C-alpha cells in the first residue's frame, strides 16, 4: 500500500523576531515523522511561511503544536505588517501530495479546527475545500477588515461569527484552516515605488476583476518597490509564464518594468517545467527527459525492492495457531465494512447532485472512521482475550486452593473472551446502520459498495456472535452470561431492521436485490 503524504503550509504573523519563529519550527520538528522542507520569512510582510510534510497523523499533530506555540508567543495587538492577517497562525492549508484525497485533507482540516477551538479557545474559520459555507471558500473574504476589523465585527455581526470556537478574538486572533490544491505564492517586483501601478496590474490579472481564472492578486509596497503579490491556485490552467508576460506588458503601459520576481515557499516541478517549455519553445519536450526525475524514480524502485515483505493478518490467520481466529476475523471484516462505508460517504461529499446529503455524509465519515479504528484495535484484543484463557489454564493446580484460583481465573478469562466479540458485534451493528444510511442517501454510483459494506458488517456481526456463544457455552444460567446473551439477542433484532433498510434502499434506488433467489 502506498504511503500517504500530506503537505501543510501554515502562515504565521511573525518574521522580525527569528527566535519566535525558531520556537514554532521546533514545535513542528518535535513531532516524529514530520519533515520541515522550507521556511520563508518576509520582514516587510512580517510573516513566515513554513512547509512541512509527512503522513497525515503526525502532520496534523505538528500543525496543532505550531498553532499552540504561535498563540503563546505572538500578540496580534502588537503586530504590524504589509500582509493581511487575522491570526497569530493566520492560515493553515493541507495539500494532498501522494496517496491522499482532497476529502481526507478536508477531514484533517475539520479535526484540527475542532481541536484548536476546543483546546486553545481560538476562533476557527474553514476555507477552500473545507469551507462549510460557500461565502467562506475564499480566504480574502474571511480576512476582510483584518484582525482589527474582525475583532469588532465578530462581536456585532452574526455573519462574521467563526465556524468553531468563541465569537471573540484574543491576542492570538483567529485561525483559518482548510484544504486545497498546490498553490504557488508568486510575487513580481516592479522597478518603481509607485504602488498604484502594482494595484492596477493586480486588478488586471486577478480572477475577481476579470483576469486569470486561478489568480488572486494585490498590489503592495515591499522594500521600497511596488510588488504584484499573487497566489496561483491552479498553475496548469493559469500558467506562470503567461501571467508574467501579462504583468510585463501592463507595467510597460505605465512606464515601468519587472525588476525581479520571487517564489515564496515551495513550487511544484511541473510549474517551472511548463514555464521553461513556454519560454524556450521546447516543442516535444517530455518530463522523462529530466535527469533528476529519472534518478528519483530509479532510487524509489531500489528502495522498494530492498524492503522485506511483512506477513499480514491473513497470513497470521492461516498459520494454524489458535489465535488470531474467528473473533479477530470478525473484527477485521467489520473494520473493512467501515472502510467501505467511509468510501461511499467520501464519494458523496463535494458532489452538487448530493448537496442535501453532504452534511450527514461528513458525519458518517467521522463515525465510520471512529468505528474502523475501534474494530481494528479489536483484532488484537480478541486474540489477547483468547490467550488469557490459555494462560489461566496453565496455572498450577497442585492443591485445592490453587485449583479454585485456577477455576476462577478461567471463568473470568472466559467472560472477558465473550465480552470482546460482544462489543465487536455492537460496533458491527453500528457499521451496518451507517451502510444502510449511505445506501439511502449516498452517491448512486457507489450504492453497491454501500451494500457490500452492509453484507460485510452482517458477516462480521454473525461471526462475532458465534464467538460470544461458544465462549459462554454451558454458562448460560449464570447471571453475567445470561445478561450478555440477552444483549446479543437484542442486537440481532436491530440487525434485522438495519438489513431490511439496506435491502429496501438497494431495490428502490438501483433495482438491486441483496438476497439470493
Are 439 and 348 in contact, with CB atoms under 8 Å apart? Answer: no
Tally the C-alpha atoms within 13 A of residue 456's C-alpha that lie toward its C-beta. Answer: 22
Closest CA to 472 of 395, 387, 393, 389: 389
Residues composing the chain? 517
184-289 sits in which CATH class? alpha beta
Model confidence over 105-123: pLDDT tens digits? 999 999 999 999 999 999 9
Name the residue ranges covered by the structural domains of the chain: 5-179, 184-289, 324-510
Model confidence over 357-411: pLDDT tens digits? 998 999 999 999 999 999 999 999 998 998 899 899 999 989 999 999 999 999 9
Q: Give CA–CA dist 46/193, Å, rounded.
A: 19
| DSSP conformational letter for 78 | G
Q: Identical fold at 5-179 and 184-289?
A: no
Query: C-alpha dihedral over 144, 145, 150, 155, to 10 degrees?
Result: -100
Residues 6+ apart with CB under 8 A from 240: 184, 186, 232, 271, 272, 274, 275
Model confidence over 471-498: pLDDT tens digits? 999 999 999 999 999 999 999 999 999 9
Are 93 and 183 in contact, with CB atoms under 8 Å apart? Answer: yes
Tally the C-alpha atoms within 13 A of residue 356's C-alpha that lie toward its C-beta. Answer: 3
Structure confidence at residue 309 as a pLDDT band (50, 70, 90) = very low
- Overall average pLDDT of the 189-207 stretch: 97
- The answer, yes or no, to whether residue 334 has pLDDT greater than 90, is yes
Are 131 and 174 in contact, with CB atoms under 8 Å apart? Answer: no
**Percent of the chain whose pLDDT exceeds 70:** 97
- Overall average pLDDT of the 138-152 stretch: 94
pTM greater than the 0.85 cutoff: no
Q: Which three cell numbers stand for residue 152?
A: 469588532
Closest CA to 224 of 195, 260, 255: 195
- Strands (DSSP E) contained in 324-459 are none
Are 63 and 131 in contact, with CB atoms under 8 Å apart? Answer: no
Model confidence over 412-457: pLDDT tens digits? 999 999 999 999 999 999 999 999 999 999 999 999 999 999 999 9
- The answer, yes or no, to whether residue 304 has pLDDT greater than 60, is no
Look at residue 287 in the predicted model and tell me its pLDDT: 82
Q: Which three cell numbers stand for residue 350?
A: 463535494
CA distances from 321 to 257, 308, 309, 382, 447 (A): 76, 23, 21, 14, 38
| Signed CA dihedral, 53, 55, 56, 60: sign only | negative
Look at residue 57 in the predicted model and tell me its pLDDT: 94
Is the link from the previous residue into 324 a cis peptide, with omega within 30 of 0? Answer: yes
- The answer, yes or no, to whether residue 271 has pLDDT greater than 50, is yes
| Signed CA dihedral, 399, 404, 405, 407: sign only | positive
Are 173 and 147 in contact, with CB atoms under 8 Å apart? Answer: yes
Catalytic residues: 83
H or E segment and range at residue 272? helix 269-280
Q: Is 411 exposed, middle or buried (0-12, 13-18, 19+ CB in 10 A)?
A: middle
**Percent of the chain whose pLDDT exceeds 90:** 79
Gyration radius of the chain over CA positions = 29
- The answer, yes or no, to whether residue 312 has pLDDT greater than 90, is no
Q: Which three cell numbers stand for residue 107?
A: 477531514
Q: Give CA–CA dist 506/508, Å, rounded.
A: 6
Model confidence over 202-259: pLDDT tens digits? 999 999 999 999 999 999 999 899 999 999 988 989 999 999 999 999 999 999 999 9
Look at residue 322 in the predicted model and tell me its pLDDT: 78
- The answer, yes or no, to whether residue 167 has pLDDT greater than 90, is yes
Considering the four listed CATH numbers 1.20.120.680, 3.10.20.600, 3.90.230.10, 3.40.640.10, the one that applies to the domain covering 324-510 is 1.20.120.680
Look at residue 188 in the predicted model and tell me its pLDDT: 97
For the chain, the maximum distance between any two Cα atoms, rounded to a whole number of angstroms, is 104
Are 451 and 425 in contact, with CB atoms under 8 Å apart? Answer: no
Q: Which three cell numbers stand for residue 254?
A: 505605465
Look at residue 300 in the predicted model and tell me its pLDDT: 64
| Signed CA dihedral, 148, 151, 152, 157: sign only | positive
Closest CA to 167 of 120, 126, 122, 198: 122
- Strands (DSSP E) contained in 79-190 are 89-98, 124-128, 175-179, 184-190
Q: Give CA–CA dist 140/482, Å, rounded.
A: 62
Look at residue 306 in the predicted model and tell me its pLDDT: 55
Look at residue 308 in the predicted model and tell me its pLDDT: 47
- The answer, yes or no, to whether residue 514 has pLDDT greater than 70, is no
Query: Fold for domain 5-179?
Result: Formiminotransferase-cyclodeaminase; Chain B, domain 1 (3.30.990)
3-state secondary structure of 422: helix
Amino acid at each position: 500500500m502506498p504511503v500517504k503524504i500530506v503537505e501543510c503550509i501554515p502562515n504565521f504573523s511573525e518574521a522580525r523576531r527569528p527566535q519566535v519563529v525558531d520556537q514554532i519550527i521546533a514545535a513542528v520538528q518535535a513531532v516524529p515523522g514530520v519533515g520541515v522542507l522550507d521556511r520563508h520569512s518576509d520582514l516587510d510582510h512580517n510573516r513566515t511561511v513554513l512547509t512541512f510534510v509527512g503522513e497525515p497523523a503526525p502532520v496534523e499533530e505538528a500543525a496543532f503544536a505550531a498553532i499552540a506555540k504561535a498563540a503563546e508567543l505572538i500578540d496580534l495587538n502588537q503586530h504590524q505588517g504589509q500582509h493581511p492577517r487575522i491570526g497569530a497562525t493566520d492560515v493553515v492549508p493541507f495539500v494532498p501530495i501522494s496517496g491522499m484525497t482532497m476529502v481526507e485533507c478536508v477531514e484533517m482540516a475539520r479535526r484540527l479546527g475542532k481541536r484548536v477551538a476546543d483546546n486553545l479557545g481560538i476562533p476557527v474559520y474553514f476555507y477552500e475545500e473545507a469551507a462549510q459555507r460557500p461565502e467562506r471558500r475564499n480566504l480574502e473574504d474571511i480576512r476582510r477588515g483584518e484582525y482589527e476589523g474582525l475583532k469588532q465585527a465578530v462581536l456585532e455581526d452574526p455573519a462574521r461569527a467563526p465556524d468553531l470556537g468563541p465569537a471573540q478574538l484574543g491576542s492570538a486572533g483567529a485561525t483559518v484552516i482548510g484544504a486545497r490544491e498546490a498553490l504557488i505564492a508568486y510575487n513580481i517586483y516592479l522597478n518603481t515605488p509607485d504602488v498604484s501601478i502594482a494595484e492596477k496590474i493586480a486588478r488586471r490579472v486577478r480572477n475577481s476583476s476579470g483576469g486569470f481564472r486561478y489568480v488572486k492578486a494585490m498590489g503592495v509596497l515591499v522594500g521600497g518597490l511596488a510588488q504584484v503579490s499573487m497566489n496561483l491556485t491552479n498553475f496548469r490552467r493559469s500558467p506562470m509564464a503567461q501571467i508574467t508576460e501579462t504583468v510585463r506588458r501592463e507595467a510597460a503601459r505605465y512606464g515601468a518594468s519587472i525588476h525581479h520576481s520571487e517564489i515564496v515557499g515551495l513550487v511544484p516541478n511541473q510549474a517551472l517545467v511548463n514555464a521553461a517549455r513556454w519560454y524556450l519553445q521546447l516543442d516535444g519536450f517530455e518530463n522523462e527527459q529530466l535527469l533528476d526525475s529519472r534518478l528519483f524514480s530509479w532510487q524509489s524502485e531500489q528502495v522498494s525492492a530492498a524492503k522485506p515483505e511483512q506477513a499480514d493478518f491473513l497470513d497470521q490467520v492461516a498459520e494454524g495457531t489458535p489465535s488470531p481466529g474467528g473473533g479477530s476475523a470478525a473484527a477485521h471484516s467489520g473494520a473493512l465494512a467501515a472502510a467501505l462505508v467511509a468510501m461511499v460517504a467520501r464519494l458523496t461529499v463535494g458532489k452538487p447532485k448530493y448537496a442535501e446529503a453532504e452534511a450527514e455524509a461528513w458525519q458518517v465519515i467521522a463515525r465510520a472512521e471512529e468505528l474502523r479504528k475501534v474494530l481494528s484495535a479489536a483484532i488484537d484484543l480478541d486474540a489477547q482475550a483468547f490467550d488469557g484463557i490459555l494462560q489461566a489454564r496453565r496455572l498450577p493446580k497442585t492443591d485445592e486452593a490453587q485449583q479454585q484460583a485456577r477455576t476462577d481465573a478461567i471463568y473470568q478469562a472466559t467472560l472477558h473472551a465473550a465480552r470482546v466479540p460482544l462489543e465487536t458485534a455492537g460496533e458491527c451493528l453500528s457499521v451496518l446502520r451507517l451502510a444502510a444510511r449511505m445506501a439511502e442517501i449516498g452517491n448512486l454510483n457507489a450504492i453497491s459498495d454501500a451494500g457490500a459494506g452492509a453484507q460485510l458488517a452482517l458477516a462480521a456481526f454473525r461471526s462475532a456472535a458465534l464467538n460470544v456463544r461458544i465462549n459462554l457455552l454451558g454458562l448460560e444460567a449464570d447471571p453475567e452470561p445470561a445478561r450478555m446473551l440477552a444483549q446479543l439477542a437484542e442486537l440481532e433484532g436491530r440487525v434485522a431492521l438495519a438489513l431490511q433498510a439496506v435491502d429496501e434502499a438497494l431495490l428502490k434506488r438501483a433495482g438491486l436485490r441483496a438476497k439470493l433467489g
